[in-house]
Structure 1
Amino acid sequence: MKLPSILFAGVAALTLSACATAQAMTETAPSSEQADALKAFPAATAGQARHVVNLPSRSDEDALKVELILGKTQTVDCNRQFFGGRLETRTAEGWGYDYYVLPALGNAASTLMACPPGSERQAFVTTQEQPLIRYNSRLPVVVYAPSDVEVRYRVWRAGETQTAR
């Protein structure tokens, strides 16, 4: 059975391809230039860490998105594992810049398949929500998360624009 061409064009227009995966830097001692860019953002609260992603300048930033991936490495088996937790978007008062906060990592959950013996391994387990945000090299992407949570990101590139028929 053939899919209608309008459906195919719509799916093709929305398809994004992964460009890179990286880990956000947990803030240590920022350079003076980085400190200037971060003064708009609040300091991390107790039990939280501030993670900063400085994106390189690109000529095609409108065609790019950043996927935020939060989680931690733990022992898993053959089941699909994930954490609860909702990433909140907040705005720096007086500046208008968005930043992201994971107030707490929710409980771990998984599917309940019977796994063969020896299927245990170390893996990065993420929250279910992994938002795509605008690529903007002029501002850092700032994420606040519990101290034991790792922040990773991936850059996505949009495919060619298609016409629906």
Structure 2
Amino acid sequence: MSNVTPTQTLDGYKGYALSVTAPEKGSSALPAKVEIVPGKTMEVDCNHHSLMGQFSEKSLSDGKRYHVFESNGEATSTLMACPDNTKRKEFVRGQGLFLDINEALPPVVFASEGIEIKQRLWSSSTPYAMEKGIAHSVETEAAKALKAYPESLEGYDRYVLFLPEIKNSTKERKVEITPGVTTEVDCNNHRLMGEFVEKNIDGWGYNYLVFESDGGIRSTRMACPDNTRRTGLVTGATHLMNYNSRLPVVVFIPKKDNFSIQYQVWEAGELK
């Protein structure tokens, strides 16, 4: 990203221009995301440091909404005892913001004075279906951990995903979970209504997901040129999580024949 002087300004903040090219309409390229990463170059020790602050949206005089990272420039850190007093310069990152590049992207992102904004692209695998009532024969660490998770939830089906261990790789990865329903659709854009709720397993620190939905669908209201309808997969709000092969991914979705769940793995590119 580059520091710019945008046509729209925000007192006390700097503007940074996104440098991402959206795919052409109808392109067969796999989807991609851009992560907006706020940070500050600081002197650090052996601990892990994280910049405090958060993104919000603000409307400016042009009527458009912009992403704004607000921070006082301070950082939190772990409290390990370092073996010496060695210090080094490091770009200390804050909480990133993920955007799909096939959607309308903001031309400018704002950040508090003294905060720098970088970006990186994430590329995805093809979507894969998650399995219901999965059986496992190998006692991996994730399979053993599954015993702590609830086996059932009234009105829901349980889906389980065991992620493979990836050795000799330093690339950062995430997993995106996507719910969907198979139904008849027309030429409009359709969206499954509902949301993911993250539940905690007491005493373990593990989490699982519940997709709460009545199966309702909302859509645009374009006038279709004919009454042709087809069977299609209508997806809903997704959940993005860290890639962790040591724990299972457990998801509960409504117990309905036309509901399904998919996942895809995202891989981070270079931070620029």
Q: Same fold (TM over 0.5)?
A: yes
State whether residues 181 and 192 of structure 2, in contact with CA within 8 Å, keep that contact through their aligned partners in structure 1.
no
Work out whether residues 121 and 270 of structure 2, in 8 Å CA contact, stay in contact via their aligned partners in 1.
no
Quick check: 1:83–1:105 contact (8 Å CA) kept in 2?
no
1:44 corresponds to: 152
Measured after TM superposition, the shift of residue 13 of structure 1 is 2.1
1:75-94 counterparts in 2 under 5 A? 75-94=184-203
Query: Could you list the runs of 5+ residues in structure 1 that have no partner in the other structure?
Result: none
**Matches of 1:67 and 1:105 in 2, distance apart?**
22
Please name the residue that 2:98 is paired with. none
Contact 2:171/2:267 (8 A) holds in 1: no
Kept in 2, the 8 Å contact 1:22–1:153? The answer is yes
SS at match of 1:39: helix
**Structure 2 counterpart SS, 1:37:** helix
Corresponding residue pairs, total? 160
Corresponding residue for 1:126?
Answer: 235
CA RMSD of aligned residues (A): 2.6
The reply to whether residue 13 of structure 1 matches residue 119 of structure 2 is: yes
Q: Unaligned regions of 5+ residues in structure 2, if any?
A: 5-14, 20-34, 37-117
Between Structure 1 and Structure 2, the one with more strand by share is 2
Cα deviation, 1:99-127, whole Å, max 9, x if unaligned, reads: 10113335211000011225421111011
- Counterpart in the other structure of 2:223: 114
Query: What is the TM-score when the length of structure 2 is the normalising length?
Result: 0.53
1:13 partner SS: strand
* Structure of higher RCO (CA pairs closer than 8 Å, 6+ residues apart): 1
In 2: Cα distance, 1:61 partner to 1:141 partner:
21
Distance 1:37 1:91 in 2: 14
Distance 2:264 2:135 in 1: 24
1:161 aligns with 2:267: no
CA–CA distance in 1 between the matches of 2:210 and 2:120? 27
List per-residue Cα deviations over 1:128-158 (Å, max 9, x = no partner). Answer: x212111101111100111222110111111
Q: Per the alignment, do residues 89 and 18 of structure 1 end up closer, same or farther by CA in structure 2, a change over 3 Å counting?
A: same
Bigger radius of gyration among the two: 2
Once residues 79 and 3 of structure 1 are traced to their aligned partners in structure 2, the CA distance between those partners, rounded to angstroms, is 39
CA contact 1:13–1:159 (8 Å) conserved in 2: no
Greater helix percent: which structure? 1
- The alignment partner of 2:154 has SS state of coil
More displaced 10-residue stretch of structure 1: 14-23 or 153-162:
14-23
Find the counterpart in structure 2 of residue 136 from structure 1. 244
* Counterpart in the other structure of 1:146: 254
Secondary structure of the structure 1 residue equivalent to 2:238: coil
> Greater shift after overlay, 31-40 or 80-89?
31-40
